[in-house]
Chain A
């Protein structure tokens, strides 16, 4: 005990010494700070109140500071410093309403909305490089860390069983990626033939990835190719994902006949544990061989899935599925929200992004349904085209929509598990599409 105490004391003494020497190094700048403080002179109380009033939010909104720079260090217009912020704060209230009252992806829209609210506060500069939103953004979004962590958690939540028992449905998940590339052409056409929008190919690609219906992938690509559009892209991506039950059914019904909607699919076979364990490694190996640019996303996804299927690290897989993904979701939401600052969001481009995003979703849904109809022309087990729409990732919302629409026509037709196949294949498909886009711009 005595020896322990002595050791402890020596340790503290040592630490104190190190601390003291560090202080000596910092002594120079500290002296300057104290000097500055000494220049403070007593002020008249009325002057003090007047100075204080100049620092209020009301004043900042009414009389924008001409020297104020945006969070990215660029000059802003007076509108973006003043009323634009008020408008954006109202927009975040709208996001709260959508999330709470309408139940649109509240897990993400609430942190994003609140981040946006904080980012639009004048004077405090919370989204700036030294504000806490700015720090969060630097820590995990500008280096694409958070989307990757989310992907791990999603991987740990994913069950590839339905896909493994009917692998050909993966093609539906591929076809739905047409939403991405079709929109890409749409976005560049918009900037080529109109004078309002000028999207570069990088920006167009980042916008079109919304069609992948996969939040983390969208954020990953946007931070890589067009960080200036991140806020709008993330918000569009998550809001459309929430709107899947509204956007998809009309398209699905328009493209299918009554007979097709009643197709019953053969029951899924049992998938052994080893098959499930090998699959993540198999897909990762393929992506290493074909498209290494997609391996950050697919690698993280398969890592999570591999841990889950291994069955020996339930603690880790449980943490990924719950604690980790929840913590990262908070950070990711706030970080994305910091991009809802008026100067970055209240621009004409945002409108185009929202429009193109909904186009991307609709085209992807249609392509998946049409692909199922094409596959039905070939011999083999018939596929209910309603599960084609689940090819746009949006796990598991899109699969639930397929199930629901199927049940509308035949109460006994359970499509949920069949739709999960293309659904998870859609995640892989959009990660591959993302990899292609990244590799093009290397």
Chain B
């Protein structure tokens, strides 16, 4: 087994043993979205109009929920030292941890997104675009989030800083994700831009996270 797969397998095993990671994110996602009919009123036309925005903001918040522990747990128990001595560059170790985070948190959000769509009276023809957009966009949420998690890994109570650091960086994903979901007839262009955001994050986020983790190792 390559060190990359070893890191993915380890994080998935820990998530499974600790339990609740996926369920917590999905429950949070659904509960936050379900608050909106109470807040803006249950008028179907209003809900239909706000649904794409609400789904995406809820997904961003649900992703943030578990992000602060992504590297902090490894920093606190010394595992970061072991990860850093792996024969693969730290870039790939970060990427492996992000992949595990996406499998635990991002993918369940993709699967749960149609349910939230139903709750918010999203038109049926928008569902394929919604699933495609969350599938393409949620990796960017995990990737960009890793930067905030790495920067705060060595800071006591640094978890509270993660949303402040990360949420502004989520804006491009939010804009293109909502655009693809709100106008399913013209979803191709925003979906491609969403893919571009994810691809750029795929290269830059592990680079930035690895640099931040090196500082935490000092």
Q: Do A and B bind each other?
A: no
Q: Which B residues contact A (CB, under 8 angstroms)?
A: none
Q: Which A residues contact B (CB, under 8 angstroms)?
A: none
